[in-house]
Amino acid sequence: MPANTPIYGFTYPCNGDPISVAVFQALANQIDTRLQSVQLDENYALGRHVHIASIANQAGIAPGVETPLTNAGAVYTVVDAGIYVVSFGFFLINTTTLDSTRVRIRRNATPNFGVTLNNNANNSYNTNCVGVIQAVPGDTINPTVLWVGTGVGTMANQRLRIRQAVRIV
């Protein structure tokens, strides 16, 4: 009776088994199929999703309203299920007065993490937040901003960086 290797089950003849070209062909096909699976793993390893966007300024942001950032590059649509490391840098400017700024990174409509700034005495400055999001295809990853003060603000120096850390197959 033919036997099989312990892990992938490649079939080989044993003592007394007839040997024909079909035996060679079957083993070759089994190995070839397994190599195609390895090729997929290689593609996954080399083809990790990355999103790097420097986003144009978004003006007209009112205080007291959680506002999604929408300029090109601010919304990332997930292609493959996985764990994504997300980093977002920003700078809120042009307000009349500024007490605080909060940015949150959402998966779809749900905030996952964020950072709060105390802009006491109307000081505006660059900052950054970073976290992870577990997502499935079609999910969107998008920052929102909520600020307290007066006037109308502009989100500037927006830098959204997303790296797929783990692929969930």
Partner 1 sequence: MTDCVACLDPQNYAAIALKLQETAIHAEECIYALETSLREVTNPATIIATTSGVPNSNANILLNVTIANVTTYANSALTSYATATQWTTGMWQVGMNLTATATGAVTDNSYRELYVAVKAADITLSPAALPYPGYSQISMVTVTEPNTGNGVDMTISSVVALTRAEDQPVFFFRHGNTGSAMAIANGGQLWATRLGDVTSLRVV
Q: Rule CB under 8 A: choose which of 53, 81, 148, 156 binds partner 1.
A: 148
Q: Does position 102 bind partner 1 by CB under 8 A?
A: yes
How far from chain centre, in Å, is Cα 127?
20
Minimum CB distance to partner 1, residue 112 (Å): 7
| DSSP E strand stretches across the chain | 3-4, 11-12, 50-55, 58-61, 67-68, 76-77, 82-93, 97-107, 110-118, 127-135, 140-150, 153-167
CA angle, residues 75, 78, 83, in degrees to nearest 5: 115
Decide if residue 29 touches partner 1 (CB under 8 A): no
Residue 91 in the binding site for partner 1 (CB under 8 A): no
Q: Is 109 in the site for partner 1 (CB under 8 A)?
A: no
**Interacting residues toward partner 1 by CB under 8 A:** 3, 5-8, 10-15, 17, 19, 23-24, 27, 31, 34-35, 37-38, 41-42, 44-45, 83, 85, 87, 99-100, 102, 104, 112-120, 129-132, 134, 146, 148, 165-167, 169
